[in-house]
Amino acid sequence: MGTLKQKSLFVLIARLVLAGVFVMAALPKLQDPVAFATSVADFRIIGPEHSAWVALGLPWLELVIGIGILLPQIRRTSGALIGLLLALFIGLHCSAWARGLDISCGCFGAETGETGSDYRWLMARNIVLLLAVALVLRQDLRNKREALGSN
Amino acid sequence: MSRLLREFSIIALLTCIGAAFSLFNGLAPLPWVEPDLPAGEIRLVDARVLNVLWIDARGEDAYQQGHIPDAIQLNEDNWDDGIFTLMDAWLGNPRPIIVYCSSARCGTSSRVAERLRDALPAAEIYSLHGGWDAWVH
Contacts of B126 (CB under 8 A, 6+ apart): B40, B41, B42, B47, B96, B97, B98, B99, B113
Q: How many interface pairs between A and B have CB atoms less than 8 angstroms apart? A: 71
Model confidence at A58: pLDDT above 80: yes
What is the DSSP annotation of A62-83? HHHHHHHTTSTTTHHHHHHHHH
Q: Given CB atoms, is A69 within the 8 Å cutoff of chain B?
A: no
3-state secondary structure of B107: coil
Q: Do A60 and B14 touch (CB under 8 A)?
A: yes
Model-level pTM?
0.67
What is the DSSP annotation of A109-141? BSSS---TT-HHHHHHHHHHHHHHHHHHHHHHH
Would A151 be classed as within a structural domain? no
* B14 neighbourhood in chain A, CB within 8 Å: 60, 64
Range of the domain at A138: 4-143
Would A24 be classed as within a structural domain? yes
Q: Do B19 and A56 touch (CB under 8 A)?
A: yes
Would A8 be classed as within a structural domain? yes
Q: Given CB atoms, is B28 within the 8 Å cutoff of chain A?
A: yes
Would A150 be classed as within a structural domain? no
Biggest distance spanned by C-alpha atoms of chain A: 55
Would A9 be classed as within a structural domain? yes
A145 vs A59 pLDDT, higher one: A59
Would A38 be classed as within a structural domain? yes
Would A63 be classed as within a structural domain? yes
Q: Minimal CA–CA distance to B71: which of B118, B130, B114, B135?
A: B135
Mutation target vs A (from B1, B15, B27, B97; most A CBs, 10 A cutoff):
B15
pLDDT in tens, B88-128: 898 888 999 999 998 877 778 888 998 898 888 888 899 99
Would A148 be classed as within a structural domain? no
pLDDT in tens, B15-53: 999 999 999 888 887 777 766 677 788 888 888 888 899
Query: Could you give the CA distance from residue A89 to residue A82 in angstroms, rounded to a whole number?
Result: 10
If one counts the domains in chain A, the total is: 1
Q: Please give the pLDDT value at position A42.
A: 77
**Neighbour count for residue A49 (Cβ, 10 Å):** 15
